[in-house]
Amino acid sequence: MALNLVRTRDLSLSKLEFPLIAKRVRMVSVFLLILLLSISTSHKRLFIEATEHTEKLAFHGFDKSILASKYLQIYNNSKYGTLQLDNGLGKTPPMGWNSWNHFGCSVDERVIKETADALVATGLAELGYVYVNIDDCWANKRRILVFVAPLLAPDPNTFPSGIKALADYVHGKGLKLGIYGDAGQLTCQQRPGSLGFELLDAMVLASWEVDYLKYDNCYDMGISPQKRYPAMRDALNSTARSIFYSICEWGVDDPALWAPRVGNSWRTTIDISDSWESMTRIADINDKWAEYAGPGGWNDPDMLEVGNGGMTYQEYRSHFSIWALMKAPLLIGCDVRNMSPQTLEILSNKEVIDVNQDSLGLQGRKINVSGKDGCLQVWAGLLSSSAPEIRLAIVLWNRCSTASMISVSWLELGVIFDVIVSVRDLWEHKFLDSISRDSFGAEVDSHDCKMYIMTHIPLFHSES
């Protein structure tokens, strides 16, 4: 639907503007010819470098023929897709729900089942939120000896039917079950940890038909994450069940540098809390590692707080937009059985979700800041496209305390030629009527954001 609209608009635009464009193409062509003839060796080197990077991108549906050197300076993806764990999972960021942000330790099998029901009833499951993840506190305080094997077991008071029965229930709804463990002696809430028990515990999780493991970092026995996390990767792999492996070492050991070989996602920061300060701080830390994310392995700035009550509608909208642009896992952290219409509206914005789930999987990033303490921000990222189109997702984010105009030149976003542009507002759900050829901007409320997809066709290609 959205795609059709884009195409129709582009067609009508190009018809309207055709004579003007044709003239410009001729002028630009002559200019380019002169430019190409006078290209220096250093330019050639840059071009070859850019071409090598775009070959890699082409695999994921990106038009490799564009003159991408300008883009690659801005959206540098030099680490993209180089190290990924090969378990076939996480081609796009995982979507679902996790119990921790709302329920903490007060979780039981009734909450999990009702959440699965609510994900389906609200339409969220259909939009892609399929993982139903139990966080800490599901496990019995001690391992249970079965013959001689000390096995993980559920807490008999809160999960009396057992995890396998819960997995069956969740799978029966077309959803997936996630669970929580710890790469240490104990979990953070002092349930048994898996350090030294990786193989046994992975076998138990696989026998319960669990689909996702969040693996925490408490009681680490002074051993570095790089030594503790691969053991569970190997253990999960040996079960032959496909289990999404979510590494949660809080960013302590710069996981982007090693975790892509180990897990499908890795937390880059300490836990999020339900406040504007926490959310903005975490977004900035996660942004530093943008070039390391890609299909199969994602930076994880922690779960969503949307709907938990500590931020305003505008702040939650910013939180959701930036998480989507950063290709973060979209794991809902509120009580989906009792959502306000505004919470549901934010979480079910399909156009924003589509940016998160884009097949290219390139993490969007902060492009420019201005204003007091850099509170007027422009974030952007490339999306997949079919030639000759190029698509960019853009977020104008006002972190200042008053409403303000935020603008950016097309050049700063990497748009190098005179182009045909359509811009769609992903929160207003409509195309903008008029677009300046030089720059782009909008008035944005305090702590709010605007999010767009800009589609353009470089003139370089429009006459072929």
Ligand X SMILES: *[C@@H]1O[C@H](CO)[C@@H](O)[C@H](O)[C@H]1NC(C)=O
Among 401, 374, 394, smallest CA distance to 442 is for 394
Using CB under 6 A as the binding rule, whether residue 275 contacts ligand X is answered as: no
Using CB under 6 A as the binding rule, whether residue 78 contacts ligand X is answered as: yes
Q: How far apart are CA 408 and CA 268, in angstroms?
A: 28
Residue type, 160: P
Strands 330-332 and 298-300: unpaired
Using CB under 6 A as the binding rule, whether residue 51 contacts ligand X is answered as: no
Catalytic residue among 182, 216, 335, 448: 216
* Minimum distance of ligand X from residue 35's CB (angstroms): 19
Can you name the residues that pair with 97 across neighbouring β-strands?
Answer: 132, 332
DSSP code, position 261: G
Closest CB to ligand X among 84 and 280?
Answer: 84
Asked if residues 210 and 202 have their Cβ atoms less than 8 Å apart, the reply is: no
By rule CB under 6 A, what count of residues binds ligand X?
A: 13
Residue type, 320: F
Using CB under 6 A as the binding rule, whether residue 240 contacts ligand X is answered as: yes
Using CB under 6 A as the binding rule, whether residue 86 contacts ligand X is answered as: yes
Q: Indicate the residue whose CB is closest to ligand X.
A: 87
Return the H-helix or E-strand segment holding 72. helix 69-74
Region of 25-33, 70-78, 141-149, 173-181 interacting with ligand X (CB under 6 A)? 70-78
Asked if residues 362 and 381 have their Cβ atoms less than 8 Å apart, the reply is: yes
Report residue 358 as tokens: 């884009």
Closest CB to ligand X among 213 and 419?
Answer: 213
Answer yes or no: 155 catalytic: no
Which one of residues 29, 73, 161, 402 is an interface residue with ligand X (CB under 6 A)?
A: 73
* Minimum distance of ligand X from residue 159's CB (angstroms): 26
Using CB under 6 A as the binding rule, whether residue 368 contacts ligand X is answered as: yes
Among 39, 194, 180, smallest CA distance to 112 is for 180
Closest CB to ligand X among 407 and 446?
Answer: 407
Closest CB to ligand X among 226 and 368?
Answer: 368
Among 336, 222, 240, 323, smallest CA distance to 279 is for 323
CA angle 240, 245, 251 (to 5 degrees): 155
Using CB under 6 A as the binding rule, whether residue 242 contacts ligand X is answered as: yes
Region of 25-33, 237-245, 264-272, 298-306 interacting with ligand X (CB under 6 A)? 237-245
Which one of residues 140, 226, 237, 384 is an interface residue with ligand X (CB under 6 A)?
A: 237
Q: How far apart are CA 434 and CA 441, in angstroms?
A: 11
Closest CB to ligand X among 76 and 348?
Answer: 76
* Minimum distance of ligand X from residue 260's CB (angstroms): 13
Catalytic residue among 117, 155, 271, 445: 271
Answer yes or no: 271 catalytic: yes
Omega before 388 within 30 of 0, i.e. cis: yes
Closest CB to ligand X among 74 and 111?
Answer: 74
Q: How far apart are CA 49 and CA 69, in angstroms?
A: 8
Which residues would be at the binding site for ligand X (CB under 6 A)? 72-73, 76, 78, 86-88, 237, 240, 242, 368, 370, 412
Which residues are tagged catalytic? 216, 271
